Structures are given as structure tokens and as C-alpha cells.
Amino acid sequence: MSLYGVMRTGVSGMNAQSNKLSTVSDNIANVNTTGYKRASTEFSSLILKSGSGNYDSGAVETTIRYAITDPGNLQFTTSTTDLAVQGNGFFVVSDASGNNFLTRAGSFVPDSQGNLVNAAGFYLMGYPGAVSNVSTNSFAGLQVVNISQMTLQAQPSTTATVNANLDADAAISAGPPAYTSKSSVVVYDNIGRAITLDTYMYKTGPDTWLVEAYDASTSTSATGGFPYSSGPLASDTFTFDTTAAGKGALDAASPTSLTIAVPGGSTLTMDLSAMTQVASGFNFKATVNGNAPSAVEKVDIDNAGVVTAVLQNGTRLPIYTIPLATVPSPDNLTPEVGNVYSVSQKSGNVQVGSAGQGGLGSIESAALEQSNVDLADELTSMIEAQRGFTANSKSFQTGADLLDVVVNLKR
């Protein structure tokens, strides 16, 4: 065996222990970094071919591995834009140049323009609106999540769902303006202005009712109601099945909705399919979509990643859906600056999907994933690396001493 080989092997061992100490130091430095995944140094032997009666010392090789699939504990916060992945998957983020990366660091806050950005300056990506069953192998269609885009925006009313009962014992009406029952519904036009629709019900015959809707602003009466300066916005006749089979529900031949052209707004479809005629008093309850202009009061994010803007008037608007991404071999992702990962040949191609589906985890709002570094383990590894480095330096020193003896054989 060559004395130089002894020294080179000792140097190889010291380099290997230095690499281990470097990963340990990095882990300790990031013990409180949100979403950080610990690195470890794995050793493998490098054997040189030896002849008969002769041994050539080899060396040791090191490989750096990252425990990316090892989850950290969740730490709950008071900010709804702090996000954590419970289970498999990564958030998709982008840098200022539009390059996409994967991360588990979900400490997102809105910047001056309302874009959600984490501590490393990466922007959270999502799909506009409420999206379900996402499945794609690319980042196409993703946009930077902005939580202030709905500020002071109005949504016109397009649908209304009515639960109503018309009194079966009511007397037959002579028709307008002698109505049987009346209710009012507030809807919104294209610029968020509230429009009141006066809705009248007239019993025109057995199990037969006329339903009309008027624009309340066209009433010429000081107290409201009839007369109106213009005709009804919508009118239709509804019939009911009072047999043992129908039990007062709309019969099969009756219409089930009323289509109303809202002044200055969109066409409103009033769903009356749940309306009944039974021996009980008049009742009319309507749920209408749309909203007046209002600022965003807060943002809610559910386990499926749907970002909902809660306006000051109480309206809830789904504005984004945050997907999760994964790869066949997450531990082989390439770590990049800023606690993010890029796809590599070893990791396999990216697959983007909906949270909670296809093996992906759920999204926890007001929570952050802590580092998966165990400080006690790292301190133990530090001592091991130190002792290993010392032992290898002794091997090197012994080889150097023997070489010194050989050099000094002749004086």
C-alpha cells in the first residue's frame, strides 16, 4: 500500500466529514425556517482494484440528500393567508421573472398591490375563480393570487331562489291591482345599484295563480305599490297539483321560474320550483345573488384551496383556487435559493391537481409548516462528524510520519 494512498484516503475522509458538518450547520441555521427540509450527507465507499498481496486504499464519496417528504409540525397563526399543506403536495409559486417553483413555505402576506408573496419573495399561484377537479402536467393557466382585485366591484343579480307558500284557502282575486299576496325582492343592476322588485300573487282560479313582478321605483303612489307608470317586468301563470300525489306542489304542466329583465342589469331567473299551495298562510323567502360595490373585509381559504373574498356587506365571492403540485420522486427535487424546489430529471415531471384529490393533501389556513430539523439529532451528528474528522486527520498524520521516516532513512 502506498503511503501517499494512506494520506489521500485520510484527506478524502476529512472532506467527507466536512461535507457532513456543512449539512448539519445548514440544518441548525434553518431550524426555525418555515417549510425547511433537512439535508443529510450519505457516505459510500470508493474501492480501488488491489493486486495479490497488495492493498490500494480507496476513498469515500458523499451524496447530499434532502428529506423533502418528511413533514414538519404545524404551527397555527392568526393570519388566514398563512398556509400549510397537510399531507402530500407543494404550493406553486413564481419569482419576479415568472419562473415557477414548488415550495412548502406558506407564510404568504399581501404586498402593496394585493399579491400574496412569501418571506422569500415568491408569489403564490392559483386559478381564477372556483375550480374543481384540476388535473394537468403543466403550470399553464396559473395566475398570481391577488386578494384585493374585488375591491369596490359590483356583481349584477342573475338568479334568485324562492321558497314560498300560497294560501290554498285564499279567495279568488279579480286581478290587478286587487292582489292576493305581495312581497318584495332586492336585486342589483350592473353597477351595484339596489333595485326593488314588487312581486304580486293573484289567485285567478282553483289552484291557479298569476305571478307578476314590477319595478318598485315606477310606482306613482306616495306609499308605494299600485299604480305603476309602466307594466310588469315579468308575468306568468302557475298551477298546482292538490291531489294525494302532488300534495300542493307545482303540477307537471306549470312553469317553474319567472324570467325578469332587471332595469339596468342582467336577466334574472327567479326559481319558483319549490313554491307550494297548501292550507297555510302566505310565506315568501328569496335568496338572490349579486352585490353592491363593497371593499374586501377579509379573505377565507378552505381546505380545498378556494380563496373567498368576504366583502364588507357580507357577500362572499370565490376569487381563486389554489392547487397543489407533486412529482413522482419529491426527494429528488432540486433545492433552490429561497426554500423552493425546481423539477429535475430525477424527480420526474410535475403534476398539478386539486387539494384533497388524487393523493394530494389538504390546505390548512392560518397555519405554517415548521422545519423538520431535530436539533438533538443535528447536535449528535455534529459530534460524530467532529470525531470522524479527527480520526481521519490521525490517519493522515500517521501516513505523514511514516513518509518522514522513509525520507530520513539516509542522512
Least confident among 33-47, 66-80, 86-100: 33-47
Q: Please tell me whether residues 214 and 250 are part of one structural domain.
A: yes
Compute the C-alpha angle 326/102/317, nearest 5°: 90
Q: Please tell me whether residues 80 and 56 are part of one structural domain.
A: no
Res 270: pLDDT: 97
Place of cell 307594466: 231
Residue 297 included in any domain: no
Show the domain range for 104: 75-146+322-369
- 174-229 tens-digit pLDDT: 888 999 999 999 999 999 999 999 999 999 999 999 999 999 999 999 999 999 99
In 114-193, the DSSP E strands lie at: 116-117, 123-128, 135-136, 143-144, 159-167, 181-188
Strands 159-167 and 267-271: parallel
CATH number of the domain encompassing residue 247:
2.60.98.20
Residue 331 included in any domain: yes
Residue 364 included in any domain: yes
Residue 298 included in any domain: no
Between helices 375-407 and 3-29, what is the axis angle to 10°?
160
Q: Is the Cβ–Cβ distance between 321 and 306 less than 8 Å?
A: yes
Q: Please tell me whether residues 94 and 122 are part of one structural domain.
A: yes
Mean pLDDT, residues 120-130 taken together? 94
Query: Where does the pLDDT of residue 158 fall: very low under 50, low under 70, confident under 90, or very high at 90 and above?
Result: very high
Q: Please tell me whether residues 332 and 379 are part of one structural domain.
A: no
Q: Please tell me whether residues 337 and 260 are part of one structural domain.
A: no
Res 52: pLDDT: 66
User: Domain count of the chain?
Assistant: 3
Q: Please tell me whether residues 284 and 231 are part of one structural domain.
A: yes
Which among 238, 252, 232 has a CA at the least distance from the CA of 204? Answer: 238
Q: Please tell me whether residues 343 and 376 are part of one structural domain.
A: no
Q: Please tell me whether residues 87 and 142 are part of one structural domain.
A: yes
- Chain-centroid distance of CA 213 in Å reads 41
Res 362: pLDDT: 96
Q: Please tell me whether residues 270 and 166 are part of one structural domain.
A: yes
How much is the mean pLDDT over the chain?
92
Consecutive H or E run containing 267 = strand 267-271
Q: Is the Cβ–Cβ distance between 185 and 197 less than 8 Å?
A: yes
Res 2: pLDDT: 73
Mean pLDDT, residues 373-390 taken together? 94
Least confident among 57-66, 357-366, 379-388: 57-66
Q: Please tell me whether residues 354 and 329 are part of one structural domain.
A: yes
Residue 255, all three cell numbers: 312553469
Residue 261 included in any domain: yes
Q: Please tell me whether residues 344 and 257 are part of one structural domain.
A: no
Instruction: Identify the domain boundary among 241, 264, 288.
Output: 288
Residue 295 included in any domain: no
Residue 307 included in any domain: no
Residue 303 included in any domain: no
Q: Please tell me whether residues 165 and 276 are part of one structural domain.
A: yes
Q: Is the Cβ–Cβ distance between 322 and 363 less than 8 Å?
A: yes
